[in-house]
Structure 1
């Protein structure tokens, strides 16, 4: 993207159906599904042998017209019993194991691939995406929705082949036995199809509502659990309980509707498949009375009919599973269709051998259309220079520094690093050159060592110790029970604010970036912690281009240049001495803080 270009924020959406896109994840594991389906066919076709043998015993072996002796009848009974037991032992047991194991394996592997791709995609998303979506909702899609999608493998893709083969095989057997009874058994199908289609649409629509509400509720719970101290400090426990109850009741209502629709589907299809055998028996008795059918044939036909309606009932259940899973899949694919605002251009190059010279030329930026946060700004920062940004809250300081590592893209103008527009660098390599020490320190729940290594996973133990010492963190780390292996709570809950900040500084030390951004790095700290952190920051800034944001002007007096911002514009620029001599906005702000400090 060249100078003056306007960044596009459009989204691309796939034109293929959701199910076809899902099949791309299934294709590498299709052999698992084929094996599972084959095992399922064995599991459900082996029992079909028994009704035929039972007919043989009823009509030929133990009938009043049988010519067999008593010993021959016992031989026939023992012979066929051993055959059936052998078939079940050596065919049905392996088939059943294969059906369930390979179904589980295929479902879990497809789920893994889809979840991993979604997570990778989420990592590529820009800051604008995370500012619009709550983290709990994002996690809900990643975990809950994909878990529902896995049912498409476990139930749909496996059962449809297994049950399809079973239905065709049974239909062939039933037609061979008596085509009139077969047509009678199929009389319920038109009603079955109508019910399945109508209920399926309603189930899918309601599933969307259940999953949307689950996402919203997950986001709310995660937010409040993370901010439990604020809830308790303001004694809002009762308020939050009522709010949670209302959200849970709303979700319950949707879940009850889902349960009602599922129950209705099961009841109606169950009624239809229960009614059909009654019709078959009625017609069968008429045919026995006419001498066309034997009692053994009717009993055998009835036994096969039960096996015939078993997959039919599973198809009804599959209708609900499919509708629910497709609703979840559409939500997952909706996230995957979100296009990151920040992407590498086709000819992007690696950002290496950086000097650290930064040039902002006529840049403007807005989070929302027609609401400019940065307005036609120009600023030149020499390599190795320390620049301080000061100004009232909301003047655009933090927004400005977020443009340098391309957390956001400017609307117009250009941000250049070493004479090249940063949009011409690969995003990953650009960000490797930028180290950030934010006002709100974010640590993870692993060990201190893991948090420091986040800056450079390839660093040695000596590098870790050197970084900790440079950040004035080594002494307090060694004083902890497990030293560098001490496991921190969520967001570093076991450390004080100053300790967390020094770990964050060590993390930047070990990253060794050429550009450093310090965003209120010493705010809200006691004087002892501030002194230790300021010493660490002074070491960190050596040889790096540094941009520091500070409300406390005592921390910026030694900057090479101080930039005063107001409403997205630069209103003053110069050294501390020069700005005091101008007696403008900076001088008024400095004297106000000085007077307040004297008053204290």
Structure 2
């Protein structure tokens, strides 16, 4: 990419970033006003000091004393005003930054919700988490401190230089030359620091992923006694992070020490040159004092610009990562003319459906044709990898078909609103996910506006009410992260209660009982059969014993539906189903 295109791209990004100020423009401009007022006060006070030391002290004692007191009161008042200015930009400026961070966090989290399974299949949770926490904090710090630091720095720097040239043009050239060299030095270090900060972000995201993975699987870690192995993996990532930090700190060390040296150098050279000018009678003592006071007004802005450069590198690299996510368009979304879905009966038709994942050109499903009348109960069996779960994932559009189409009540599911489609489908999975919180909140997840009575009715239908009432806090029992305080059967019954509460016309049972013991399986199976009554139901079965009574069993292979029939009919054929059955029994 050419430099012109890259520059244009960066300008576009900065304009995009600036739009986050729009809702808070009143707060932004007030913040800028107080920043400018505070900077102006710091420029005025040394002029008052110069006036006192050069003019007032030469007046008669009584007149000089009165004027010094009045000017002293004025300076104290100005200090108090400056104090309020600093308070305003520190408090309200940070509030503005926090609100912008809040808006951006809402934006990226909302975007996460729109992205399909295909996106999350290729992402680590720790990386996604770092973009919504540390990255956004750095961006908000940039948006808060960046503009005010630039405004304050330029007012102080330009104002101080103008005053210095008015006082003594020859001496004013000293800080000007040093500041130009400082800026050249800062620009030389800029690109190196930017790449170093980017690498730091990648490494901390890796650490977040490692922590999330290890803590989520802590029971597996402890069951294998692999705490040392997890510590080894964590230390490896942590060491890589320290290595990348060392690089950025080396550049920062060179940068900050160089800038500090230049700041001190301005004072030293100005003092030497000023003293030489005084000996030659070209500079008065009051002017030298004024000069030294304004030197601080030259070095302080430079220090602010140092901080701004660091903030800019952190914030802008975070914003680039933010844009990377926001630029990923959801591959599954509503068409512009998507139709609402109402009064769903539950008739499902697969017409010549084929599918393969993005990263592979090999079909998982090929030319699947299937018609399921409303209210039918269909069981799907087949060897691992035959595409049973994939077939059912296509119905709620977790993935879109590669070829062919799926019809619901005669309508192509890609032509209807995605939310409406998923509202009509209930899924009970083998790997139950329960959210941290109470039992009642987890069941109510099926329909957030449900009343307590409706939740309890759903729990009773799922054979969950009895065990819930045996718990110390009943429906208000906190179940821990991912429901760790409950057994597998209990968690599965809560997931079934969720679907009862949702009350959809179409159900998908994805090996819902395969991970349970025999006793729990019987209870859960009874709940599933009750739930499936009068609903279009797809059952992905691992244990063939659970589908013996199914009126329609489909045997799925890599080439599509190979066999179809009842349990007895398929056994009599002596084909794939019979072979699978013999292996299990």
Secondary structure, aligned partner of 2:371: strand
Do the aligned partners of 2:425 and 2:504 also contact (CA within 8 Å) in 1? yes
Q: Give the structure 1 partner of residue 545 of structure 2.
A: 554
Query: Is 2:71 aligned against 1:80?
Result: yes
Q: TM-score, normalized by length of structure 1?
A: 0.93
Q: Give the structure 1 partner of residue 5 of structure 2.
A: none
Do the aligned partners of 1:41 and 1:166 also contact (CA within 8 Å) in 2? no
1:121 aligned residue (97, 107, 111): 111
Query: Is 2:125 aligned against 1:135?
Result: yes
- Larger mean Cα displacement after TM superposition, 28-37 or 499-508: 28-37
Query: Is 2:26 aligned against 1:34?
Result: no
User: How does 1:35-184 map onto structure 2 within 5 Å?
Assistant: 35-62=30-57, 66-69=58-61, 71-89=62-80, 91-184=81-174
Secondary structure, aligned partner of 1:186: helix
Deviation at 1:67, TM superposition (A): 4.5
Residue by residue over 1:551-576, the C-alpha shift from the partner in whole angstroms, topping out at 9 and shown as x without a partner, is 11121122221000122521101122
Deviation at 1:584, TM superposition (A): 1.5
Moved over 4 A (4+): none
Deviation at 1:202, TM superposition (A): 0.8
1:333 aligned residue (319, 323, 330): 323
Distance 2:154 2:55 in 1: 33
1:348 aligned residue (312, 329, 338): 338
Do the aligned partners of 2:479 and 2:485 also contact (CA within 8 Å) in 1? yes
Q: Give the structure 1 partner of residue 13 of structure 2.
A: 18
Deviation at 1:405, TM superposition (A): 0.3
Do the aligned partners of 2:267 and 2:292 also contact (CA within 8 Å) in 1? yes
Q: TM-score, normalized by length of structure 2?
A: 0.95
Do the aligned partners of 2:34 and 2:88 also contact (CA within 8 Å) in 1? yes
Deviation at 1:27, TM superposition (A): 2.4
Do the aligned partners of 1:360 and 1:380 also contact (CA within 8 Å) in 2? yes
Distance 1:24 1:43 in 2: 26
Secondary structure, aligned partner of 2:385: coil
Deviation at 1:394, TM superposition (A): 1.1
Query: Is 2:246 aligned against 1:256?
Result: yes
Q: Give the structure 2 partner of residue 598 of structure 1.
A: none
Residue by residue over 1:453-484, the C-alpha shift from the partner in whole angstroms, topping out at 9 and shown as x without a partner, is 10001111111011000000001111111111
Query: Is 2:193 aligned against 1:203?
Result: yes
Q: Give the structure 2 partner of residue 414 of structure 1.
A: 405
Q: Give the structure 2 partner of residue 497 of structure 1.
A: 488
Query: Is 2:389 aligned against 1:394?
Result: no
Q: Give the structure 1 partner of residue 347 of structure 2.
A: 357
Do the aligned partners of 1:33 and 1:157 also contact (CA within 8 Å) in 2? no
Do the aligned partners of 1:356 and 1:417 also contact (CA within 8 Å) in 2? yes
| Residue 208 to residue 568, structure 1, CA distance change in 2 (3 Å) | farther
Distance 2:562 2:376 in 1: 20
| Residue 574 to residue 565, structure 1, CA distance change in 2 (3 Å) | same
Secondary structure, aligned partner of 1:28: helix
Structure 1: gaps (5+ residues): 1-13, 595-600
User: How does 1:296-335 map onto structure 2 within 5 Å?
Assistant: 296-335=286-325
Q: Give the structure 1 partner of residue 428 of structure 2.
A: 437
Do the aligned partners of 1:38 and 1:99 also contact (CA within 8 Å) in 2? no
Higher relative CO (Cα under 8 Å, sequence separation at least 6) belongs to 1
Q: Give the structure 1 partner of residue 562 of structure 2.
A: 571
Residue by residue over 1:378-437, the C-alpha shift from the partner in whole angstroms, topping out at 9 and shown as x without a partner, is 111111000000011111101110000000011111111111111001111111111000
Q: Give the structure 1 partner of residue 4 of structure 2.
A: none
Do the aligned partners of 1:467 and 1:509 also contact (CA within 8 Å) in 2? yes
Do the aligned partners of 2:430 and 2:511 also contact (CA within 8 Å) in 1? yes
2:527 aligned residue (528, 532, 536): 536
Residue by residue over 1:495-549, the C-alpha shift from the partner in whole angstroms, topping out at 9 and shown as x without a partner, is 0000000000000000111110001111122222112111111111011100001
Q: Give the structure 2 partner of residue 267 of structure 1.
A: 257
Q: Give the structure 1 partner of residue 6 of structure 2.
A: none
| Residue 327 to residue 49, structure 1, CA distance change in 2 (3 Å) | same
Do the aligned partners of 1:39 and 1:95 also contact (CA within 8 Å) in 2? yes
Do the aligned partners of 2:40 and 2:155 also contact (CA within 8 Å) in 1? no
Query: Is 2:454 aligned against 1:459?
Result: no
Deviation at 1:169, TM superposition (A): 2.4
Deviation at 1:296, TM superposition (A): 0.3
Deviation at 1:343, TM superposition (A): 1.1
Distance 1:217 1:96 in 2: 37
Distance 1:93 1:589 in 2: 80
Q: Give the structure 2 partner of residue 448 of structure 1.
A: 439
Query: Is 2:459 aligned against 1:484?
Result: no
Query: Is 2:500 aligned against 1:509?
Result: yes
Secondary structure, aligned partner of 1:440: coil
Residue by residue over 1:262-288, the C-alpha shift from the partner in whole angstroms, topping out at 9 and shown as x without a partner, is 221111122122212223223323332
- Larger mean Cα displacement after TM superposition, 161-170 or 123-132: 161-170
1:214 aligned residue (185, 200, 204): 204
Q: Give the structure 2 partner of residue 586 of structure 1.
A: 577
Do the aligned partners of 1:32 and 1:105 also contact (CA within 8 Å) in 2? no
Deviation at 1:83, TM superposition (A): 2.2
Secondary structure, aligned partner of 2:177: coil
